[in-house]
Structure 1
């Protein structure tokens, strides 16, 4: 998305907040907020500085469970 003119923030929002709005689910998903359903990824660096940092996932929280690649330090 950033290759086609979106800012890094716009690209992240397109995959989260805006996607939830399009699905009509903005009161349930798309944000990290109490009472919302959320699967979360953690990355080492700030994706607003380097969007490619989203490719280097350190761990995932899905349905309340933490998943970590044992091959990563």
Structure 2
């Protein structure tokens, strides 16, 4: 898998498999608003996802 395919498998595709598409696994109005932020580019190096700089849960940053 490419890094993009791996990220999609863990988010959008997983949500689809669980019957949750549109609510989780996407960034869109009405979705849960759970995100992570990393300093680097995970599309160039998926390992960047191992070093999370910020977590957004339900649209609010978790400290």
TM-score (norm 1): 0.79
**Structure 1: gaps (5+ residues):** 1-5, 69-73
Asked if residue 58 in structure 1 is aligned to residue 59 in structure 2, the reply is: no
Query: Match for 1:12 among 7, 10, 13?
Result: 7
Structure with greater contact order relative to length (CA < 8 Å, sep ≥ 6) = 2
**Aligned residue for 1:49?**
44
After superposition, give the CA deviation of every residue in 1:11-67 in whole Å (9 maximum; x if it has no partner): 000011000100011021110101011311000011001111001100101123312
**Aligned residue for 1:71?**
none
The size of the alignment, in residue pairs, is 63
Q: Which runs of 4+ in 1 moved over 3 A?
A: none
**Structure 2: gaps (5+ residues):** none
Query: Match for 2:20 among 20, 25, 44?
Result: 25
Q: Which has the larger radius of gyration?
A: 1
